[in-house]
A and B are shown apart, each in its own frame.
Chain A
Amino acid sequence: MKRRGRTLWIVGVLLALVVAGFVSWYASGSPDGLEWAAERAGFAHTAEDGAAAGSPFADYLWNGEENRLSSGAAGVVGVLMTLGLAGGVTWLVRRRGVPAGED
């Protein structure tokens, strides 16, 4: 069972990397629900560029370059950073010394 848990984890991470690093390039470019509603209702113009707009990965592209490599790199970096942050925090707050397989 332990091995299946590890397999699930590895397959899951690989799937996330492929989705964010490759498939995302083919995602719909249409405005999302909130943007669409904001335009329709008339408050879309109040959106501002935030303090993070100067990030090298702003808008899920490396330096704003619109190509698969740039978009793919952003996706891979995002998955790894989220994995590290969420995985790190949840690992730190977990109950210690509970043997695997028991609850």
Chain B
Amino acid sequence: MCNKVDAVHVPDGFLDAPTSLATGALAAGTVALALRKARTELDDRTAPLAGLTAAFVFAGQTINFPVAAGTSGHLIGAVLTAVLVGPWTALLCMTAVLLVQAVVFADGGLTALGTNVTLLGLVAVVVGYGVFRGLTAVLPRTRTGVLAASGGAAFLSVPAAALTFVGLFALGGQVDLPIGTVASAMTGVHLLIGLGEAAITVAVVGAVLAVRPDLVHGARGLLSAAPLEDRRPVAAEQAR
């Protein structure tokens, strides 16, 4: 009864062929670029963490949590991955997860793979990591600050992906529906799912920060700066 009918990602048939081809081309271009750019984020230490994070996201996505009467949601994991191993690597990890899900488990359509990479990879990573960077710029440079930024970014990444789907549906949905109907149906439930996304993201990033803060890509240059901040008032007083 449990993970039987979950077509958790966009299945084949929701969007027309031109839209699927366009998202396919966008996804392919994104992955090609990510293969070059991820190099700057990956070395002998961080590459194994990237594989682990992808496997963890796959596992996390098998858990549908109830969000409201008669509906459920599951982790996307894009912000989690981007904060842990970097945004370019996160694009590769999310693509790997979606590819395995579509090909082996018939979860998310094969013709919709480009759409799913666009939504759960590109949009969730770009919006999520953008929000994360914006928040870390204004929040305190502490572990709590990094976790709050991760949670806020994870929360917003879910409605961002959902609303992008609404946009794609407006362009190439197979049924002619008033777009407001689709948008309102998608938004409320995905705001709730975003809360679950934030909770899981904060828990996992917090666990890795506790044991190996040096491995967390999104915390680099933030946490190491903390001791310097502590010294600064002393230096300032001495200068006086």
Contact = CB atoms under 8 A, between A and B. Distances in A.
Interface residues of B, number: 88
Given A33-B189, A33-B193, A86 B13 contact: no
B46 to A, nearest CB: 8
A24 B63 contact: yes
Contacts of B6: 29, 31-32, 35, 59-60
B43 A103 contact: yes
B39 to A, nearest CB: 5
B96 interface: yes
Given A33-B67, A37-B185, A87 B4 contact: no
Given A33-B193, A50-B111, A86 B42 contact: no
A63 to B, nearest CB: 13
A100 to B, nearest CB: 5
A28 B65 contact: yes
Contacts of A55: 103-106
B87 to A, nearest CB: 13
A88 B93 CA distance: 11
Interface string A51-67: 11101011111000010
Contacts of B45: 5, 98, 100-101
Interface string B37-58: 0111011111111111111111
Chain A interface SS verdict (over half): helix
A5 B64 contact: no
A13 interface: yes
A94 B185 contact: no
B103 A43 contact: no
B195 to A, nearest CB: 12
Interface in B70-107: 70-74, 85, 89, 92-93, 96-97, 99-107
A95 to B, nearest CB: 5
Contacts, number: 286
Contacts of A23: 62-63
Contacts of B189: 33, 36-37
Contact of B92 (A35, A48, A78, A90): A90
A31 B71 contact: yes
10 A-B pairs closest in CB distance: A87-B51, A86-B54, A48-B13, A24-B62, A86-B96, A94-B42, A37-B185, A16-B59, A20-B59, A28-B72
Interface of A: 1, 4-5, 7-9, 12-13, 15-17, 19-20, 23-38, 40-43, 46-53, 55, 57-61, 66, 71, 74-75, 77-91, 93-95, 98-101, 103
Given A79-B58, A90-B50, 5 more contacts: A12-B56, A34-B9, A36-B70, A58-B106, A59-B105
30 contacts: A9-B49, A16-B58, A20-B58, A20-B59, A25-B2, A27-B62, A30-B64, A30-B71, A31-B72, A32-B7, A33-B189, A33-B192, A35-B5, A36-B189, A37-B189, A43-B173, A43-B175, A53-B106, A55-B104, A60-B6, A60-B62, A71-B2, A78-B104, A79-B59, A83-B51, A90-B38, A90-B51, A90-B93, A98-B43, A103-B220
